[in-house]
Amino acid sequence: MNTIVWIHGDNLSPYNPALLAQKDAPTIFVWDETLLQEYQLSLKRIVFIYECLLELPITIRKGDVAQEIITFTQEHDANRILTTQSPSPRFKQICATILREMPKGSTLEIYKERPFIEIDEQLDLKRFSRYWEKVKYKALHPK
């Protein structure tokens, strides 16, 4: 089974479990054009993400995430995609599209990682400052 790894913005670490599971597999990150337009990310945040990506053995593309991943999978004659879980609602939509469009017998394996912090309320993931305001006390004062 040929494998690719899909890294997304919710786990840009070199210790990403999907990346560690298949260290030699071709790896992709896709700048999500729709998300970039909807969230209006600041240039500072975009540069931060890009700098994180530079530390990874990765191919960087821009466009429709599902389609770019499917194309990358075809280019590498792969039928297995590894990634990590994300709280983003877009993640579920992208995964559903990938599974619908991939050839029969292909798999999408989603690794779960221990969350940075456990919190029961809905978080605003559009702006780091809003997220950090909700979680900073628990993050800086673990039990």
User: Does 75 share its domain with 132?
Assistant: no
Three-state SS for 82? strand
User: Does 131 share its domain with 75?
Assistant: no
User: Does 78 share its domain with 49?
Assistant: yes
User: Does 121 share its domain with 100?
Assistant: no
User: Does 20 share its domain with 39?
Assistant: yes
Which stretch of DSSP H or E encloses residue 71?
A: helix 65-75
User: Does 90 share its domain with 25?
Assistant: yes
Strands 80-84 and 27-32: unpaired
Structural domain including 29 reads 3-112
User: Does 136 share its domain with 69?
Assistant: no
Strands (E), the chain: 3-6, 27-32, 59-63, 80-84, 107-111
Whether the pLDDT of residue 131 is over 70: the answer is: yes
User: Does 88 share its domain with 128?
Assistant: no
Q: What share of the chain is helix, strand, coil (3-state, %, to 5)?
A: 40, 15, 40
Report the number of distinct structural domains present in the chain: 2
Whether the pLDDT of residue 137 is over 80: the answer is: no
pLDDT tens for 24-69 read: 999 999 999 988 888 888 899 899 999 999 999 999 999 999 999 9
Instruction: Tell me whether residue 109 is exposed, middle or buried, using C-beta atoms within 10 angstroms of its C-beta: 0 to 12, 13 to 18, 19 or more.
Output: middle
User: Does 41 share its domain with 65?
Assistant: yes
User: Does 19 share its domain with 69?
Assistant: yes
CATH of residue 59's domain is 3.40.50.620
User: Does 52 share its domain with 120?
Assistant: no
Q: Identify the residue with better confidence: 110 or 114.
A: 110
